[in-house]
């Protein structure tokens, strides 16, 4: 997954229901400190696309890869 891809959000979060569509606008790689296990993970910034709820349309939320499914 990379910026510019459309995704479906696979889990509910506050204000954003499951199966909402979004656009990846940014992908950041983060590394935990050695005390935290030293794991590396990607955090995706998703711009929400929603005609059903204009309050969240255009909002940017952050998700992990396991919370997203690639559309295109």
Please report, for the chain, the start and end positions of each structural domain, with discontinuous segments joined by +: 6-70
**Residue-wise pLDDT tens digits, 34-55:** 777 778 889 999 999 988 788 8
Residue whose entry in the numeric block shows the structure tokens 């929400």: 48
pLDDT digits (tens, 9 = 90+) for 1-11: 899 999 999 99
**Distant-in-sequence, close-in-space partners of 49: CB < 8 Å, separation ≥ 6:** 20, 21, 22, 23, 57
d(CA 58, CA 25) in angstroms, rounded, equals 11
Asked if 15 and 35 touch (Cβ cutoff 8 Å), the reply is no
Distance in angstroms (rounded) separating the CA atoms of residues 63 and 44 = 5
Q: Where are the beta strands (DSSP E) in the chain?
A: 6-9, 21-31, 40-49, 60-64, 68-70
């Amino acid at each position: 997954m990379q910026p510019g891809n459309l995704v479906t959000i696979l889990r509910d979060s506050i204000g954003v229901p499951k199966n909402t569509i979004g656009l990846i606008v940014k992908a950041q790689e983060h590394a935990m400190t050695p005390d935290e296990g030293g794991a590396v993970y990607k955090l995706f910034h998703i711009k929400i696309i929603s005609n059903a709820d204009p309050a969240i349309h255009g909002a940017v939320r952050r998700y992990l890869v396991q919370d997203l499914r690639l559309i295109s």
